[in-house]
Chains A and B, each alone.
Chain A
Amino acid sequence: MEQEEMRMLRENIDEFCTRNIADIALKIENSGIPQDLVAKLAGQGFLGARINPENGGSGLDEDSYRIVLERTARSSPSVSMLIFLENSIFSPLYSHDGSALREIASGTSRGTACLFDYLSGQEDSVKMKSGKAYGTVKYCLMPDSEYFLVPSDGSLYALKGKPRQNPLPRLGFRGLGYSGLEFDGSDAEKILENAHAMIDEVIAAASKDIAAIAIGMAGATIDKAMEYSRVRTTFGRPLKDYGPVAFNLSDLKSQIDEARNLLYSASSDPLSIKIMAIELARKSSRLSLQIHGGYGYLEDFGVEKFYRDAMSLSVFFGTRGEDLKTLSKKMYGETAGII
């Protein structure tokens, strides 16, 4: 994608976010993403960004899609995560059902893939019997969805219906909800045999998408801190005049800019970018919160959510340790780091 096109796309999305998300970002954290915003996201083609146009999606190219993720994450990581879950995770695993994808792209339904139990090595506890699902999913992001993809006995099933929710502590992405699920006879359809390889593939293919969210969060939180450091004074001088403040912020900002360049470079390694971007999101949010002091600790300033979300993002789709194991295997060309 040409630089000029990318710039224009960024500006358009930023304008959309300023008009539709920025002012309600706190409300999203506390009460979820309102349906009228979901409709607007669908109207912009974001919810079906990577869904084939035949199925009601906008069929965006990878770079454009990642710009959508990055820029929306700046205002609301929860909104960005919604777009990500539908396009990077649910749709590739549920590509055979055009009508469901149309519902997702239009914002009339939501679909979530309950993969955290599988990714964290837990036993499958949802069992299928005569086309019905019974049992519990321990961890589910976006539990208010209409469609649930659940691995069981090596296969992947699509479940419909409203399972009972067991609320969990919600560290990050509070706008989406997070809970355990109890299925007691929901309709279940097997959509994939030997699904583990496919799930792993989908997660691996999403590395740069996750990096886009992380870079959006890192960039936003550092920009907020830089802005604050210009106007906040202590001992009679703006914070930015103090070396440790300016140096640390400048250092991180330059690293984020470099990571962004790598993200949109076709030759960069997706997993490396993911690891780097998540680390930057964590470091940036911690520094930003610190620079904002007591105000940063309050939700009103819109900084603390990045601190929570960055940590959540760092464990949702593979922890740093798991990613490094995969990276080591690639770098060595053989299994490494297993002891």
Chain B
Amino acid sequence: MNFEFTEDQQKMREKVREFAQREFTPELAAKFDMEEKYPEELRKKSFEEKIIDYSDPWKVLIAIEELCRADAGLGISATVPYFGEEIISLFGSDYLKEKYLAAVNDGKAIMGLAVTEPGGGSDVAGIKTFATKKDGKYIVNGGKMFITNGTIANFFVSLIRTSNEEKRHHGLSVLVIESSFPGFKSTKLRGKLGVRATDTAELQFNNMEVPEANLVGEEGKGFYYVMTFFNISRIFVAGQGIGIAQGAYDRALRIIKSRGAAYSNNEEIQFALADMATHIEAARLITYKAASFLFNFKPDPMETSMAKKYAAETAVYVAEKALEITGIEGISSDLERFYRDAKILEIWEGTSEVEKLIIARSILKGGEN
């Protein structure tokens, strides 16, 4: 068991921290939050400065932590152009990798993942968007909801029903859908509580033709591909949670220290700080443990779900505590944004309830220790 990052990884943390401090100015973070605007320039800058380095997944996790520590809205926006990439890289054809992933990896395109539907998020197998085959093409009808990058992505990997099987999840497939396809429509969702710099939209597919070559892997295996992806992405969402929690903690600590020893010597405040720091440390350890399984090609869905659930709850807990102990000063500063941003982590990429189901099922399936 080794709890230390390599020198290279440490350097990456410093590099991303410096980038975030330089680029995520308080004014910019407030502006994009207020205007609910995607920070396209920041995306380009983060790409040019190689803030996301896919050659080492630890570096990606570290980058997400540090970016969200500075600001979740901007941080997630800078890391999310690649959202869903693993589905194509793990299961897609060479044609799809070449046609779609190359542009994303060159910083020339943005992609997204389209799974959730208006009728349900947690029940992934209940997907209703349907594709029928005609003349070597899929004709897709239906819609998707709460889709990150919905109005800015060039294409989406989307989970779609291609047949009605007795076991619902056996009838699902993944198709790559371009936003330029006739019949595609996206509508930006405004008025989010937090992460307002990120782009979120509702998608509609109306008799949209998708080439057969845009099928990822095999028909009927889509559910499996998406679940595999979630077992990867949830580690990075846990990283968002650590970052938001750490960012809220940093700000609260700064305010508390500025009030002098008389204030910070108060045990009520000290206990709150100790609780916050302990939660963050625990979230970090559980996330790094789950990440080490995944990054060594031995993913453990239970560990991953524990990490995602705990880190999300930690972000909410720490942001709440931070506002509690800083009072009016806290809610009148950018700390309030961390409180708003944190809550999404208990909802997206599997709600905390879904994570608990995964954990419980793994426990009940397994033997005694």
Residues of A within 8 A of B (CB): 26, 116, 119-120, 138-139, 168-169, 171-172, 178, 233-236, 244, 282, 286, 289-290, 293-294, 296-300, 304, 307-308, 311-312, 314-316, 319-321, 324, 337, 339
Pick the contact of A339 from B145, B266, B336 — CB < 8 Å? B266
* A298 CA / B340 CA spacing, docked (Å): 12
Given contacts A169-B337, A298-B192, contact A316 B145 (CB under 8 A): no
Q: Which of B115-123, B130-138, B241-249, B287-295 contacts A (4 or more CB under 8 A)?
A: B115-123
Instruction: Please give, as numbers and ranges, the residues of chain B lying within 8 Å of A304 by CB-CB distance.
Output: 193
Spell out B's residues near A (CB within 8 Å): 30, 116, 120-123, 126, 145-146, 189, 191-194, 265-269, 316, 320, 323-325, 327-334, 336-337, 339-340, 343-344, 346-348, 351-353
The 9 closest A-B pairs by CB, nearest first: A299-B191, A171-B336, A304-B193, A294-B146, A120-B328, A315-B327, A319-B327, A168-B332, A171-B331
Cα distance, A324 to B343, chains bound together (Å): 27
Ordered by A's residue number, 29 sampled pairs between the chains whose C-beta atoms are within 8 Å are A119-B328, A139-B332, A168-B332, A169-B337, A171-B331, A171-B336, A171-B339, A178-B332, A233-B120, A286-B343, A290-B347, A294-B121, A294-B146, A296-B347, A297-B343, A297-B344, A297-B347, A298-B193, A299-B192, A304-B193, A311-B320, A314-B323, A314-B324, A315-B330, A319-B325, A321-B268, A321-B269, A321-B325, A337-B268
Q: Which of B121, B333, B346, B347 contacts A169 (CB 8 A)?
A: B333
A171 and B340 CA atoms in complex are apart in Å by 8
Secondary structure of the B side of the interface? helix
Chain A residue nearest to B353 (CB atoms) is A244
B332 contacts A169, CB within 8 Å?
yes
A297 to B192, CA, bound (A): 6
Instruction: Chain A residues near B145: list those with CB within 8 A.
Output: 294
Known: A169-B337, A290-B346, A308-B340. 13 other contacts (CB 8 A): A139-B332, A169-B332, A169-B334, A235-B126, A289-B343, A294-B121, A297-B344, A298-B189, A311-B339, A315-B327, A315-B328, A319-B325, A321-B325
Q: Is the CB of A294 within 8 A of B267?
A: no
Task: Report Cα–Cα, A139/B347, bound state, in Å.
Answer: 32
Residues in chain B near residue A297, CB distance under 8 A: 192-194, 343-344, 347
In the complex, what distance in Å separates the CA atom of A339 from the CA atom of B331?
Answer: 25
Q: For residue A138, which residues in chain B have a CB less than 8 angstroms away from its CB?
A: 332
Q: Looking at A168, A172, A293, A324, which has the most chain B CB atoms within 10 Å of its CB?
A: A293
Residues in B whose Cβ lies below 8 Å from that of A236 = 126
Q: A290-B346, A298-B192 are in contact. Are A169 and B352 (CB under 8 A)?
A: no
Across the two chains, which residue of chain B brings its CB closest to A178? Answer: B332
Q: How far does the Cβ of A15 sit from chain B's closest Cβ, in whole Å?
A: 28
CA distance A290 to B347 in the complex (A): 7
Query: A residues within 8 A CB of B332?
Result: 138-139, 168-169, 178
Shortest distance between the CB of B251 and any CB in chain A (Å): 12
Given contacts A297-B193, A319-B324, A321-B325, contact A312 B351 (CB under 8 A): no
Assembled-state Cα–Cα distance A316/B123 (Å):
40
Q: Which residues of A contact B346 (CB under 8 A)?
A: 290
Cβ-defined contact, B126 with A339, below 8 A: no
Check B328–A139 contact: CB distance below 8 A.
yes
Known: A119-B328, A311-B339. A290 touches B334 (CB 8 A): no
Which residues of A have CB within 8 Å of B337?
169
* Contact across chains for B347 and A294 when beta carbons are under 8 A apart: yes
Selected from A307, A316, A321, the residue in CB contact (under 8 A) with B343 is A307
* Cβ contact within 8 Å between B267 and A316: no
- Looking at the assembled complex, report how far the CB atom of B115 sits from the nearest CB atom of chain A, in whole angstroms: 12
Q: How far is the CB of B224 from chain A (nearest CB, A)?
A: 19
Residues of A within 8 A of B192 (CB): 297-299
A234, A297, A319: which has the most chain B beta carbons within 10 Å?
A: A297
Q: Using A169-B30, A290-B346, A308-B340 as known contacts, say yes or no to A234 and B123 having CB atoms under 8 A apart.
A: yes
In the bound complex, CA of A236 to CA of B122 (Å): 12
Which single residue of chain A is at the shortest CB-CB distance from B335? A169
- Per the bound structure, the CA–CA distance linking A169 and B178 in Å amounts to 38
CB distance from A232 to the nearest CB of B (A): 9
Could you say which residues of chain B place their CB within 8 Å of the CB of A233? 120
- The residue of chain A having its C-beta at the shortest distance from the C-beta of B195 within the complex is A297
Q: How far is the CB of A166 from chain B (nearest CB, A)?
A: 10
- A116-B193 contact in complex given A234-B122, A294-B347, C-beta closer than 8 Å: no
What B residues does A139 contact at CB under 8 A?
328, 332
When C-beta atoms are compared, the residue in chain B nearest to A180 turns out to be B332
Other-chain contact of A320, B123, B265, B324, B336 (Cβ < 8 Å): B324
A201 to B70, CA, bound (A): 41
Bound: A337/B328 CA distance, A: 21
